[in-house]
Structure 1
Amino acid sequence: MDNSHLPGGSNFRDVTHIFTEAAAEMSPMDVILRDGFTLQDAMSAFEIGEPRLDSGMVGERPPFDFWAPLLPEEICWIIDRSFTLEMLWHAGNTLAHTVFTCLYALVAPDLHPDMMPCDIPNDPSRPANLIPVVLRASICGMLKCCDLSWRELSKGHVHDTEDWQSDKGDTSLLEGMSVQNVIAMIDAATTWLVRSGKVSAPWTAALLARLNLRKTLLQLMDTNIFKAPSEFLDLINIVRSHLKIVRTSPSPEPGSDATARLAFDPYIARKLNSSVPIRVIEVPPVSEAWQSIDALLDGWEEQRLLSLTANVSTWELAGNLRTWLTSPPLRTPYVRSSAQSVFYDGLLVLNKFNLTWLMDRFFFETLGVSYQSAFHFVERNSRSQRPRPWADIQRGHFKLMTEYIRALWYNPCRRRRFFMKALVDFHVYHTRLKDITSGLPEDLPSDNVMRHLPSCALLWRLSVTREVVLSGFQLELYTSEEKPFAYWYASQVMDAHLTCLDNVLLAVEPDCLAARELRFQHNLLTALQAMTIPLFILSIPLMSFAWRQMHANFLRRYKWAFGGGYELTSEPVIAAPNFDTFTEACGQMLEEKTFSPSESFNFAHSILTGLIESRVVGGYAGLWTNERIQFLQNIADACERLKPVPSSMSELTLFDVGLFKWDPQIDPWFPVLDAEGAERRRSKIVRRPGEP
């Protein structure tokens, strides 16, 4: 048979007869399927181009001997690479493409010292026990850490295939082995390293540091933050010290032909019962793994502080700062899930509080009065004969607030979607509080705090509405034509929020924590409104003024404000988006003569710098004061960048709105001015005397 015309040359053999003979006993329409691969998978492959059936040709891999002796530095390199693969899994990749590409992870339970072959050569530079004692202990520790992480992530606080990948490929993560047994294995490995003397001193220290790092990470994941808070803090500090030692003793990169390199197979998913296509992930330098572990420790440290924080407003602030600040970046899914578990475990808040406590904190942190005080005041003074739905409010409040606080640790897209749905519940809550207080005497003075009970729900709702609108810029959802409306609507929400704060501040005790927080919010909102109004005006040229199409886009973008649930209440929604009002505002602002965009940014900047310098940043910032100040500084920097905008309305026609660049990495909500573009524009406009 002439195969010279085929790609690759003529060194081919006809093997048709092999398949013919193998299928001789099969009847027509019979199908042979491997384990985990069904007929439906085979039929789907033709439609979607399943990479497992057409993944290209992979060169032959040399057979890997798990018992092949390795140098101590090669063991260090394998352990370091296993840390890197573990962090890649935490970053959202699959186990089959990360952790399980380490072939030792597939056979770790079988690498027992009693199973070691007798014919292993005696090489003093490659002690035989390094593999069944040291490497096995480290790999088992990694698998158990992945198992504990998997159990936390599978609680449903974060989303499978969106935040993380749960597919194990029918491969063990040592689910049946206890944490204590793995720790005992690591202890035995450290004891052997110290007592045997078979490994040179520098590499003994390097291996001990890596084993201790793995052990303390495992202990940290297995420690209950409420039952052993001091132990939790001690472990964090111990992990940091071990990590510092590991960084000072890096492992050398093995040669291209080294046996250690065969310990990793990026195509191992072919041999696993995995439903995901094969994808080879480039393994980053191990320094990035140490940075990821640092970030993991920062997340645990924040959880420890949050576990000691009994202010719901502080929890809300901490969750918002993780989204508003680009540094540190958003926590890993494991940290975000465990933070939600710390707040609410499905039964109690912070492992000790019930729904009554949560109601108390809601009223106390907003108005400075307890829920019991509000309840007894209304019951004593209400003139209405209708029964008041306190029980319904309690149940609805507990569900709403626990889900809302936990949602602050969702990924940004899920977070925004939850907020949009929660706005209906906040509106219903506000309506019920208005019904309850409607029976209070009409002559109740405006400075009586009980008159403002409905404002509790309204303040929180307006805050969530503002976040929904502004987060659209951070997620880059808005088209250029939608940005003017977004800034205008944000300013309207802030205006309603400021009005509500003005009313509440008249009644709240001026020296209480709630009043301090309300005054800070008033200053912050004043500054933000002073930024959104000029941005609305300056971005008007981005619109096409095709009002019918713009209205259709408006209904699509703000459908969350007109969805189901609002019709169940008779109370109108405060600060609802209105397209007709927006079009009127566009015409009014274009006729405005006295407004100065640059002065508005200067005004906002002065408010923000005053807050930063005085460090008066609210009553519930607590241990997050410095981070809140950093948030204020970021907004002040945005004001500074936007000061070169026109100083009067008459200069608007000369301003090129194309100089605005929205980059969430620089600022989540506000644009920056393209300095180079502005300079080029000025060079075209400004002429020297005598120039044409």
Structure 2
Amino acid sequence: MPEDDLADEASHLTIDGDNPNGDDIGFAAKRLAHEARKTLSSGGGSRGIRDVTQEFAAAAKLLQPGQLVKDEYFTLFEAVGALEIMDPKMDSGYVPPGDTLEPDFDVCKGLPAEQVLWIMDELLRLTAVWHDGYPLSQTIFTSLHVDRLLSPDNRPPYHLFYGDTALLVMTTEQRLVHIVLRAYCIALVKSCALVLHTIQSQNFYEEEDFVTHLFGRELLPSTGANDAVKLIDEAVKFLDGADVDKVMRTALLERLQFARTYISLLVSDSADWNTLAAMGRSAETHKLAQPILEAFSDKVQRQLATSTPPRPMIIISWDEALERWKAICADIVEADRLTCFDVCQSPHALHRAIWAFAYREPQPNTFARAYLQTILFASEQITEGMAFFDLMLTDMRDLVLAGDVLVDPHSFLVEIPSDPRHKCSRIVETFMDKAFDEYMNLYRMVCQNRCRIRRTFTQSVAIFDSLETEAMRTDAELDGITPGIVLAGEDGPGNVTLTPLTSWVKYYKLQTMAWTIQLGFETDIYLPHELSMMYWYLMVFARRERKLLEHIERFLAARQKTFVSSRDARQDDEAAASQEWLAVLHKQADFTALLSSALWQVSELLMTLCILQPAKRDYAQEQLLYDVRMKSYLGIAHDPIPTLEEYKSATQSDRSIEDTCNNINGTIADAKSCLAYMKKTTPEQGKYIGTGEQWKREIKQLETTCVAVAVQTSQLRRVADKHGKLLGAPRDQSLKGAVEVSIPPAGSRYHDWWVVPQIREKKT
């Protein structure tokens, strides 16, 4: 419409005189006419187009790192209006010119065996993608055959056709669709329902881990898993006598057998997933398939109950899909192996096994992690003869009360109220009830993704700190009934009494604090200049843990002396096993403290020499930055963390570069000796029953990390010597122009928890 005509059309808007709101509408019409003339007259009657890409890029370069630009008048309404309607990337209802609103493929028509084979393989591929966290609307639901089965107007027994059609008059190609393909689709849909049930019954994070939305559809609720198996059996029986090529019949039977095995494994409590992993023949026969792309369509999304724009869809090949299926099966087999009876008898071995499972490569997907949780938490006991209560009690006995009557299972069976064992066991049981949920989270939360493990553990720190208060009260109550062993003070005059429950809670609090920092390195949440501070704090936590273990070891040795007159060999055995376990924990804490000390010194030296420096932030305050970074630990009431001033005081040193490098090398040598000790431990001593390979692999990674620290230290020493700055105080030196440093990202390190800066001399 011409400009003048548009303006005149707006000005000619008339108002019905009887309308009580006529004045308002008339004013709006006049304003519309005025704005139309003003808008259309700008730019000489036509709107000009100017490319501002280069200007925008130039303006963006003027912004400082971290600087925000905000237009106070750019409201949510404008933000939503910026989403373009009719853009296929944002508008799932957009229909291109010449296209139809709905797919026009006839799902009832017969198909040759080659095309049926391709559809089955494509569904298998999309199911693998769905397991990776992509929604059903963009994977399995894009199948028009599945869409028809799930259609709201379809009813049991969920046929593909509309109305009554006798199967007896169908051709072989029609029977391949209505018997074979239908049975396969129903079995696959029911398998998805079982997978969803497993995931939703355990801890997981919606959208972040897995998309559970059904988009308004139901997964054939009137058909059970057994019904799906029967349909598969009927399809197999049909194929045995069908007029289909022998090779093609074998290929179709393999797919049906896969679907049958898959759904059977999902409903079975004890099953061997290795049978599903044997898919070599399926890979070979896939080349017989003939693509029929029109059997799948993303137009199905228009009928689904969702307003979410489509996600970028991952495209994987058939071979990649098979590898993902094999990985799922291997993860589930490993989950069964790591939760066997022998492993579950030891809480520490079980905990190490769950960590080993979480760190499999590639990382297990959501279903595999939910499957592991189901094994551990679906019933009232971890394994046969090992209830959750017994697991927690065994942990206390192994760590702080080996051979003590307080945690003897028989003490909890005493029913005489006047018996001290009865009184103490009730007190301990009350404390265990309060600590139970957080203790079990030590096992459950490791089954989450990395970011969630770290985030949940940061929340656990405050909970364990509050439990420590409760443990102190419980220890005092127990000491009033059965006084414990009293030893001379470790750090001066005075006597010290073992507070077992307090020590037990404190150990897990310190261990959790160390895990949160190490997971922070793995998830790359620390900036390069923060490595020094975080490794220093990790060293502090490890040293506190080591001191606590020394305290526990002293009382264990004193308790062993009281067993001399006892004829109960079980007490001696428990004490000996606990002593070996504490020695291993002691070495692990030593190693963590030593390696973190070495990396702290390396990072601090790089900052001192102006090689690593924080970005310039004009309005940043050092104390506020510290408070934000250490927020998870600031609320600790018992043994609060060192302050910023204490950290800065610890980093001030007058040592020369050469002395610092020598100290780092000495620290690394001590760390290697700790690894040498752990290398010689048996699975029973180190509590790595069932995870021996992972134990050896991690020690090898840590040894390589130690070597890398020594190599980078030598490199820095060589460059400093070359520039004549090896002697003198480090704070008076600067190698900024002579050295460049890179921080390797997670995945490319020798061990993801230990960041070794890569030091290189700049080429002139």
Q: Which residue of 2 aligns with 1:79?
A: 120
Q: Residue 247 and residue 512 in structure 1: after superposition, are their counterparts in 2 closer, same or farther (change >3 A)?
A: farther
Q: Residue 386 and residue 590 in structure 1: after superposition, are their counterparts in 2 closer, same or farther (change >3 A)?
A: farther
Q: How does 1:99-498 map to 2 (within 5 A)?
A: 99-108=140-149, 109-111=158-160, 127-155=173-201, 157-196=203-242, 198-224=243-269, 229=270, 232-233=271-272, 236-241=273-278, 243-252=279-288, 254=290, 260-279=292-311, 281-305=313-337, 306=339, 308=341, 309-323=344-358, 325=359, 327-345=360-378, 348-350=381-383, 354=387, 356-367=389-400, 369=402, 373-374=406-407, 389-438=427-476, 439=479, 441=483, 444-445=486-487, 452-498=500-546
Q: For 2:691, what is the secondary structure of its paired residue?
A: helix
Aligned counterparts of 2:741 and 2:498: Cα–Cα separation in 1:
50
Aligned counterparts of 1:298 and 1:181: Cα–Cα separation in 2:
28
1:523 pairs, out of 587, 609, 612, with: 587
CA contact (8 A) 1:367 1:515 kept: no
CA drift of 1:663 comes to: 1.3
CA contact (8 A) 1:617 1:625 kept: no
User: Equivalent pairs: percent with the same residue?
Assistant: 18
Q: For 2:711, what is the secondary structure of its paired residue?
A: coil
Q: Which residue of 2 aligns with 1:37?
A: none
CA contact (8 A) 2:108 2:161 kept: no
Q: Which residue of 2 aligns with 1:664?
A: 746
**How many residues align structurally?**
613
CA drift of 1:495 comes to: 0.7
Aligned counterparts of 1:56 and 1:609: Cα–Cα separation in 2:
67
Q: Residue 97 and residue 513 in structure 1: after superposition, are their counterparts in 2 closer, same or farther (change >3 A)?
A: farther
CA drift of 1:218 comes to: 0.8
Aligned counterparts of 2:384 and 2:80: Cα–Cα separation in 1:
49
CA contact (8 A) 2:634 2:640 kept: no
**After the TM superposition, which of the residue ranges 206-215 and 575-584 deviates more from structure 2?**
575-584
Which amino acid in structure 1 is aligned with residue 597 of structure 2? I
CA contact (8 A) 1:530 1:604 kept: yes
Partner deviation per Cα, 1:606-635 (whole Å, 9 max, x = no partner):
543553466668442111121122122222
CA contact (8 A) 1:267 1:280 kept: no
CA contact (8 A) 1:487 1:533 kept: yes
Partner deviation per Cα, 1:416-436 (whole Å, 9 max, x = no partner):
121112112222333333333
Aligned counterparts of 2:345 and 2:453: Cα–Cα separation in 1:
23
2:131 pairs, out of 82, 90, 108, with: 90
CA contact (8 A) 1:367 1:449 kept: no
CA drift of 1:476 comes to: 1.1
Q: Which residue of 2 aligns with 1:535?
A: 599
CA drift of 1:55 comes to: 4.6
Q: For 2:353, what is the secondary structure of its paired residue?
A: helix
Aligned counterparts of 1:627 and 1:328: Cα–Cα separation in 2:
11
**After the TM superposition, which of the residue ranges 542-551 and 522-531 deviates more from structure 2?**
542-551
Aligned counterparts of 2:656 and 2:650: Cα–Cα separation in 1:
10
Aligned counterparts of 1:605 and 1:116: Cα–Cα separation in 2:
76
CA drift of 1:657 comes to: 7.2
Q: Residue 43 and residue 580 in structure 1: after superposition, are their counterparts in 2 closer, same or farther (change >3 A)?
A: closer
Aligned counterparts of 1:311 and 1:176: Cα–Cα separation in 2:
44
Q: For 1:596, what is the secondary structure of its paired residue?
A: helix
CA drift of 1:49 comes to: 5.7
Q: Residue 127 and residue 414 in structure 1: after superposition, are their counterparts in 2 closer, same or farther (change >3 A)?
A: same
TM score, norm. by length of structure 1? 0.79
Is residue 2:641 matched to residue 1:576?
yes
CA contact (8 A) 2:92 2:310 kept: no
Partner deviation per Cα, 1:444-490 (whole Å, 9 max, x = no partner):
24899965443222222211110001111111111223221111000
Q: For 2:653, what is the secondary structure of its paired residue?
A: helix
CA drift of 1:403 comes to: 2.7
CA contact (8 A) 1:597 1:645 kept: no
Q: For 2:486, what is the secondary structure of its paired residue?
A: coil
CA drift of 1:312 comes to: 2.4
CA contact (8 A) 1:113 1:129 kept: no
Is residue 2:539 matched to residue 1:502?
no
Q: Residue 105 and residue 516 in structure 1: after superposition, are their counterparts in 2 closer, same or farther (change >3 A)?
A: farther
CA drift of 1:77 comes to: 1.8
Say which one has the larger Rg: 2
Which amino acid in structure 1 is aligned with residue 537 of structure 2? Y
Q: Residue 486 and residue 74 in structure 1: after superposition, are their counterparts in 2 closer, same or farther (change >3 A)?
A: same
Aligned counterparts of 2:82 and 2:379: Cα–Cα separation in 1:
43
What is the RMSD of the two structures over their aligned residues, measured on CA atoms? 3.8
CA drift of 1:85 comes to: 0.9
CA contact (8 A) 2:126 2:140 kept: yes
CA drift of 1:91 comes to: 1.1
Which amino acid in structure 2 is aligned with residue 67 of structure 1? C
Which amino acid in structure 2 is aligned with residue 444 of structure 1? V
Aligned counterparts of 1:530 and 1:350: Cα–Cα separation in 2:
38
CA drift of 1:348 comes to: 4.8
Which amino acid in structure 2 is aligned with residue 245 of structure 1? R
Q: For 2:177, what is the secondary structure of its paired residue?
A: helix
**After the TM superposition, which of the residue ranges 551-560 and 430-439 deviates more from structure 2?**
430-439
**After the TM superposition, which of the residue ranges 135-144 and 113-122 deviates more from structure 2?**
113-122
CA contact (8 A) 2:471 2:502 kept: yes
Which amino acid in structure 2 is aligned with residue 171 of structure 1? R
Aligned counterparts of 1:537 and 1:333: Cα–Cα separation in 2:
39
Q: For 2:378, what is the secondary structure of its paired residue?
A: coil
TM score, norm. by length of structure 2? 0.72
Aligned counterparts of 1:275 and 1:590: Cα–Cα separation in 2:
63
CA contact (8 A) 1:404 1:422 kept: no
Aligned counterparts of 1:159 and 1:132: Cα–Cα separation in 2:
38
CA drift of 1:48 comes to: 5.9
Aligned counterparts of 1:355 and 1:282: Cα–Cα separation in 2:
41
Aligned counterparts of 1:354 and 1:493: Cα–Cα separation in 2:
32
